[in-house]
């Protein structure tokens, strides 16, 4: 394994301004001929070194003449003594039909498609596979026209020629230079829907969404989302689409969610296909968000790209920020913010405490594939959001304008981005930049005192030590606060709204008549953990009165965590458990408060995941966390039973997102009463006309007695067995069931005819959901959960290292486990590490975990 360091970056020795690619798809292989215009970019006689993986080399030609003086070994093609400029032609064979890695050119169902980010293009042809080598591409694809009536690539279709009776040849030209990770090729029998978008300058863009035959009627929501995204990017950032055609292709086998290839996005079908019968409200939002994300990459990623892969957050953090803003504008800003922060807290925070902790801009990696993380994406987006907050909307926009003015068509660094922000705004971001190089979730411990009409906040920031070795200097971030008296009156002074923290310790004093309650880091102003010793009464006041809707939610979250923590203490000391009556009373008030928007109220009915609870323990005890959570939710359901039932019934009549959201949140808490909800859940399950209600009822029925549950499982499977995406939901539901027999069931299901261990969505639905979301049973005391997942990781790694490595992140909690669990996990980690031929990606994760 070779570690790659940012500090070793050097410019490419050769540039490749032009590429002509010819892909001839045959029955058993594809023959790829590439003509690269090579231009020397260094002095001396440095050889040209191209990347190539699993390529069967036929010939190498230099300026049209075959040469033999080259070396092809260790995935590198090395050619010496090149002139300053030459055309290098290579011809290779590749086998898309048996490429199970889902990188490079591969087969998904009946469609052939590519995935080239980060380093997949080397599986297509010999190339300098790095993002700072940018080329103009002409791509010709040829294939049997009955099998592959559609032959697509980036840019514009410039020629379509029948070859004899049976074959078709399409030539595509992309006028914009791009890195090879954005190249896309698709061949298949595809159905499409089409539409168009007129840009602000009056250009008409053709929009096409391709699916498997029979599926395109589920692509209309994606199409609407695309048009909304195009309009939003013009209105918000002045960014107009630059080609005449925008295509999206949906495939069932895809390692990631989607890919932003220039002019030809390739999507996991889960993020394209949606209709009310088969997709939940949250699936609809997922489609809208991912369509927007990939579209926004056209500017943040494609037209301005990354110099090297250490800069990944340059495009990903920024694009996530942009898609979050888009979705906030299109849905409910607060609800969206709460959902984004919840994802950050339950994915990125544990990652930062675990073996693969890294700053948003890491300084070294073994495999870049392991850095498409919650840190680079979600924390990266928070870093951009902080710049947005510090500069304000107008100056941030000026910074974006300057960034595009300076760098369109270039491959740049995060420093270039920050410089544009600084230069356009005059804001000094020198200290702020530490966010790019320091790992760990800063812990902000706040204390307060009250003396003679002065309320003082004492703020201490601590950057935790993580598994990643880096400086731990004080960070610079916005920290807006509010102040409330005990009756909930808002006493926030103007100065509180713009507080900034920059030192290890700071004090802020405010004149107030009495002691006040602080509402801290409003709107989740920074990716930090705020600690303040709130009393239950203070939190209830914030829950009732805080005008900052995020912190009002956070008060509910804190109260829930306090209740569960108390129950954990009660279990440990064998005391009877009960939720504080004051909390129950305040919930009762909330549930009948007509001023609260329904979707927002649903977020206040906060249900933490088992791992969110375990994360707060010094030594993670998932079983105890699960037990305490179940006790809490059952009591909450018992105490609020009549209110929740009323809420459920009151929202039956209107069939809209908000009503479904609050109704099903009520049902979900009530389901902890088991068979008490069987009747209403069965009724909803039988009559539901949309997947949101159907799934909510189905999930609730899982908590009922075995006969009720098994009946629901059967009926679901019978109804949806032919729908690949809906069945993923069924597999997830089985995998996350809270029952001792769950692992045995999963073992049986892995042999089910509907299960396919080469399909990433299926693997994630069954094994991923068990390891990642069923913590209580994955961490079972007999170690069988660890063993089972280790077996799967080893098996999957032999063909798809992407999926095996991401499954291995389930072992993240290793060093926080009690001795007995840690020993059991260690056995499996060692077993994986000793397996011969394991992939570099998996090896990197396992070795870091064991360290
Ligand atoms: N850029 C792709 C992710 C590719 C994953 C490579 N292992 C999707 C996205 O972030 O938009
Ligand atoms: Zn992205």
What pLDDT digit, counting tens, does each position of 451-462 carry? 999 999 999 999
Whether 293 is in the pocket of ligand 1, judged by its Cβ within 6 Å, is: yes
Residues 383 and 465 in one domain: no
Atom 10 of ligand 1: nearest residue by CA position: 316
What distance in angstroms lies between residue 445's CA and the mean position of ligand 2's atoms? Answer: 33
Whether 256 is in the pocket of ligand 1, judged by its Cβ within 6 Å, is: yes
Q: Which residues contact 495 (CB under 8 A, 6 or more apart)?
A: 508, 510
State both tokens at 397: 């926009």
Helix, strand or coil, per DSSP, at residue 439: coil
Residues 331 and 430 in one domain: yes
pLDDT grade for 1, boundaries at 50, 70 and 90: confident
What distance in angstroms lies between residue 301's CA and the mean position of ligand 2's atoms? Answer: 8
Closest ligand to C-alpha of residue 254 is 1
Q: Which whole number is the average pLDDT over 578-594?
A: 97
Q: Please report the pLDDT score of residue 448 as a whole number.
A: 98
Residues 84 and 156 in one domain: yes
Please tell me the distance from the alpha carbon of residue 586 to that of residue 590, in angstroms, as a whole number: 6
Q: What is the DSSP string of 77-129?
A: EEE-S--SEEEEEEEEEE-GGG-TT-SEEEEETTEEEEE-TTTTGGGTS-B--
- Whether the CA torsion 751, 756, 761, 764 is positive or negative: it is positive
Atom 8 of ligand 1: nearest residue by CA position: 259
DSSP letter, residue 840: H
Number of domains forming the structure of the chain: 5
| CATH classification at residue 510 | 2.60.40.1840
What distance in angstroms lies between residue 180's CA and the mean position of ligand 1's atoms? Answer: 14
Whether 316 is in the pocket of ligand 1, judged by its Cβ within 6 Å, is: yes
Angle between helices 641-650 and 657-670 (to 10 degrees): 150
Residue 67 lies in a domain: yes
Q: SS in 3 state form for 285-339?
A: HHHHHHHHHHHHCCCECCCEEECCHHHHHHHHHHHHHHHHHHHHHHCCHHHHHHH
Site to probe by mutation for ligand 1, drawn from 123, 270, 309, 316 as the one with most ligand atoms within 8 Å of Cβ, is 316
Burial of 410 (0-12, 13-18, 19+ CB in 10 A): middle
Active site residues: 294
Q: Ligand 1, closest atom to CA 369?
A: 7
Residue 517 lies in a domain: yes
What distance in angstroms lies between residue 117's CA and the mean position of ligand 1's atoms? Answer: 7
Q: Please report the pLDDT score of residue 185 as a whole number.
A: 99
Tens-digit pLDDT profile for residues 590-648: 999 999 999 999 999 999 999 999 999 999 999 999 999 999 999 999 999 999 999 99
Closest ligand to C-alpha of residue 319 is 2
Atom 4 of ligand 1: nearest residue by CA position: 117
What distance in angstroms lies between residue 302's CA and the mean position of ligand 2's atoms? Answer: 11
Residues 61 and 167 in one domain: yes
pLDDT at 285 over 90: yes
Q: How many CB atoms lie within 10 A of CB 623?
A: 17
| CATH classification at residue 847 | 1.25.50.10
What distance in angstroms lies between residue 316's CA and the mean position of ligand 2's atoms? Answer: 5
- Residue 66 contacts residue 59 (beta carbons within 8 Å): yes
Closest ligand to C-alpha of residue 322 is 2
Whether 372 is in the pocket of ligand 1, judged by its Cβ within 6 Å, is: yes
Tens-digit pLDDT profile for residues 83-102: 999 999 999 999 999 999 99
Residues 526 and 591 in one domain: no
Whether 271 is in the pocket of ligand 1, judged by its Cβ within 6 Å, is: no
Site to probe by mutation for ligand 1, drawn from 258, 370, 802 as the one with most ligand atoms within 8 Å of Cβ, is 258
What distance in angstroms lies between residue 319's CA and the mean position of ligand 2's atoms? Answer: 6
Residue 689 lies in a domain: no
Whether 290 is in the pocket of ligand 1, judged by its Cβ within 6 Å, is: no
Residues 427 and 506 in one domain: no
What distance in angstroms lies between residue 368's CA and the mean position of ligand 2's atoms? Answer: 14
What residues are paired with 37 via a beta bridge? 18, 87
Q: Which whole number is the average pLDDT over 205-229?
A: 99
| CATH classification at residue 418 | 1.10.390.10
Residues 8 and 58 in one domain: yes
Q: Ligand 1, closest atom to CA 377?
A: 10
Atom 9 of ligand 1: nearest residue by CA position: 259
Helix, strand or coil, per DSSP, at residue 389: helix
What distance in angstroms lies between residue 322's CA and the mean position of ligand 1's atoms? Answer: 15
Residues 526 and 582 in one domain: no
pTM exceeding 0.90: yes
Secondary element (H or E) of residue 208: strand 204-211
What distance in angstroms lies between residue 262's CA and the mean position of ligand 2's atoms? Answer: 13
Query: What backbone phi and psi angles, to 5 degrees, belong to 648?
Result: -60, -50
Residues 513 and 367 in one domain: no
Secondary element (H or E) of residue 801: helix 801-807
Whether 119 is in the pocket of ligand 1, judged by its Cβ within 6 Å, is: no
Average of per-residue pLDDT values in the chain: 98
| CATH classification at residue 160 | 2.60.40.1730
Site to probe by mutation for ligand 1, drawn from 256, 315, 809 as the one with most ligand atoms within 8 Å of Cβ, is 256
Atom 1 of ligand 1: nearest residue by CA position: 259
Whether 260 is in the pocket of ligand 1, judged by its Cβ within 6 Å, is: yes
User: What domain range is 529 assigned to?
Assistant: 443-533
Q: Which whole number is the average pLDDT over 756-767?
A: 98
Residues 114 and 10 in one domain: yes
Tens-digit pLDDT profile for residues 320-342: 999 999 999 999 999 999 999 99
pLDDT grade for 432, boundaries at 50, 70 and 90: very high
Whether 129 is in the pocket of ligand 1, judged by its Cβ within 6 Å, is: no
Residue 467 lies in a domain: yes
Tens-digit pLDDT profile for residues 107-120: 999 999 999 999 99
pLDDT at 505 over 90: yes
State both tokens at 500: 């900034």
- Residue 672 contacts residue 630 (beta carbons within 8 Å): yes
Query: What backbone phi and psi angles, to 5 degrees, belong to 535?
Result: -85, 160
Residue 716 lies in a domain: no
Residues 401 and 361 in one domain: yes
Angle between helices 581-591 and 622-639 (to 10 degrees): 60
Whether 295 is in the pocket of ligand 1, judged by its Cβ within 6 Å, is: no
Closest CA to 120 of 367, 330, 318, 365: 367
Query: In the chain, pLDDT over 70 holds for what percent of residues?
Result: 100
State both tokens at 644: 């929740």
ipTM: 0.99
Residue 648 lies in a domain: no
Site to probe by mutation for ligand 1, drawn from 260, 365, 369 as the one with most ligand atoms within 8 Å of Cβ, is 260
Last residue of a domain, one of 594, 616, 639: 639
Last residue of a domain, one of 533, 567, 586: 533
Tens-digit pLDDT profile for residues 384-424: 999 999 999 999 999 999 999 999 999 999 999 999 999 99
Residue 245 lies in a domain: no
Please tell me the distance from the alpha carbon of residue 399 to that of residue 408, in angstroms, as a whole number: 14
Q: State yes or no: cis peptide before 264, omega within 30 of 0.
A: no
Strands 529-532 and 443-451: parallel
Site to probe by mutation for ligand 1, drawn from 119, 181, 259 as the one with most ligand atoms within 8 Å of Cβ, is 259
Angle between helices 678-687 and 691-701 (to 10 degrees): 150
DSSP letter, residue 493: -
Closest ligand to C-alpha of residue 131 is 1
pLDDT at 292 over 90: yes
State both tokens at 262: 């220039």
Whether 294 is in the pocket of ligand 1, judged by its Cβ within 6 Å, is: yes
Residues 485 and 388 in one domain: no
Q: Please report the pLDDT score of residue 766 as a whole number.
A: 98
Residue 668 lies in a domain: no
Q: Which residues contact 275 (CB under 8 A, 6 or more apart)?
A: 217, 218, 220, 221
Q: Ligand 1, closest atom to CA 316?
A: 10
Last residue of a domain, one of 500, 533, 566: 533
């Amino acid at each position: 394994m070779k570690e790659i360091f940012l500090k070793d970056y050097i410019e490419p020795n050769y540039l490749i301004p032009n590429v002509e690619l010819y892909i001839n798809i045959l029955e058993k292989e594809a023959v790829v001929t590439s003509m690269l215009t090579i231009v020397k970019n260094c002095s001396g006689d440095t050889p040209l070194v191209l990347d190539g993986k699993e390529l069967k080399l036929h010939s190498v030609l230099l300026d049209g003449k075959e040469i033999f003086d080259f070396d092809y070994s260790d995935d590198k093609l090395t050619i010496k003594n090149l002139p300053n400029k030459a055309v290098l032609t290579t011809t290779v064979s590749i086998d898309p039909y048996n490429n199970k890695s889902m990188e490079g050119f591969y087969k998904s169902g009946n469609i052939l498609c590519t995935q080239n980010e980060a380093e997949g293009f080397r599986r297509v042809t010999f190339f300098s596979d790095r993002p700072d080598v940018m080329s103009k591409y002409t791509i010709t694809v040829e294939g049997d026209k009955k099998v592959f009536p559609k032959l697509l690539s980036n840019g514009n279709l410039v020629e379509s020629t029948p070859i004899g009776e049976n074959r078709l040849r399409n030539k595509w030209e992309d006028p914009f230079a791009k890195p090879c990770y954005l190249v896309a090729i698709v061949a298949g029998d595809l159905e499409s829907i089409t539409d168009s978008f007129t840009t602000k300058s009056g250009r008409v863009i053709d929009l096409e969404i391709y699916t498997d035959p029979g599926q395109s009627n589920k692509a209309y929501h994606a199409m609407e989302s695309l048009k909304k995204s195009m309009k939003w990017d013009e209105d918000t950032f002045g960014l107009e689409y630059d080609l005449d055609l925008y295509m999206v292709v949906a495939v069932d086998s895809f390692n990631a969610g989607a890919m932003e290839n220039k002019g030809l996005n390739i999507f996991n079908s889960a993020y394209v296909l949606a209709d009310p019968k088969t997709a939940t409200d949250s699936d609809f939002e997922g489609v809208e968000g991912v369509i927007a994300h990939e579209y926004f990459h056209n500017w943040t990623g494609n037209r301005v790209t990354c110099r090297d892969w250490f800069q990944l957050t340059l495009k990903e953090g920024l694009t996530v920020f942009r898609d979050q803003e888009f979705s906030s504008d299109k849905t409910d800003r607060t609800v969206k913010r709460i959902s984004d922060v919840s994802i950050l807290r339950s994915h990125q925070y544990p990652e930062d405490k675990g073996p693969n902790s890294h700053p948003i801009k890491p300084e070294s990696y073994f495999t870049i594939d392991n850095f498409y993380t919650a840190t680079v994406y979600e924390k990266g987006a928070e870093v951009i959001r902080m710049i947005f907050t510090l500069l304000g909307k107008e100056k941030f926009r000026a910074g974006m304008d300057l960034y595009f003015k300076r760098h369109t068509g270039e491959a740049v660094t995060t420093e270039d981005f920050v410089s544009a922000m600084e230069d356009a705004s005059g804001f000094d971001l020198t200290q702020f930049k530490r966010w790019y190089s320091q790992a760990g979730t800063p812990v902000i411990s706040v204390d307060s005192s009250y003396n003679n009409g002065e309320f003082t906040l004492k703020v201490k920031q601590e950057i935790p030590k993580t598994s990643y070795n880096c400086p731990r200097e004080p960070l610079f971030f916005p920290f807006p606060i509010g102040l409330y008296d005990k009756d909930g009156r808002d006493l926030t002074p103007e100065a509180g709204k713009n507080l900034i923290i920059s030192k290890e310790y700071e004090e802020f004093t405010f004149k107030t008549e009495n002691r006040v309650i602080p509402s801290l880091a409003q709107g989740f102003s920074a990716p930090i953990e705020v600690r303040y010793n709130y009393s239950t009464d203070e939190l209830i006041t914030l829950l009732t009165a805080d005008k900052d809707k995020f912190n009002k939610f956070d008060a509910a979250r804190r109260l829930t965590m306090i209740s569960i923590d108390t129950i954990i203490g009660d279990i440990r000391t064998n005391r009877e458990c009960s939720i504080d009556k004051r909390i129950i009373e305040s919930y009762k008030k909330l549930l009948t408060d007509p001023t609260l928007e329904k979707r927002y109220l649903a977020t206040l009915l906060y249900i933490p995941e088992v791992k969110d609870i375990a994360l707060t323990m010094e030594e993670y005890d998932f079983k105890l966390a699960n037990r305490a959570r179940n006790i809490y939710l059952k009591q909450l359901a018992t105490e609020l039973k009549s209110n929740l039932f009323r809420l459920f019934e009151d929202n039956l009549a209107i069939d809209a997102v908000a009503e479904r959201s609050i109704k099903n949140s009520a049902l979900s808490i009530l389901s902890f009463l088991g068979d008490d909800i069987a009747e209403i859940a069965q009724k909803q399950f039988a009559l539901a006309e949309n997947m949101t209600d159907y799934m909510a009822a189905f999930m609730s029925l899982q908590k009922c007695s075995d006969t009720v549950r098994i009946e629901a499982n059967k009926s679901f499977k019978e109804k949806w067995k032919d729908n690949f995406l809906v069945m993923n939901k069924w597999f997830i539901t089985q995998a996350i069931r809270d029952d001792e027999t769950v692992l045995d069931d999963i073992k049986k299901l892995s042999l089910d005819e509907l299960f396919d261990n080469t399909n990433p969505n299926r693997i994630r639905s069954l094994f991923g959901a068990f390891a990642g979301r069923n913590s209580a049973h994955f961490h079972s005391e007999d170690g069988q959960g660890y063993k089972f997942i280790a077996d799967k990781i080893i098996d999957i790694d032999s063909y798809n290292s992407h999926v095996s490595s991401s499954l291995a992140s389930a072992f993240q909690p290793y060093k926080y486990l009690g001795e007995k669990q840690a020993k059991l996990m260690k056995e499996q980690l060692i077993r994986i590490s000793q397996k011969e031929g394991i992939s570099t990606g998996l090896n990197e994760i396992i070795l870091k975990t064991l360290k």
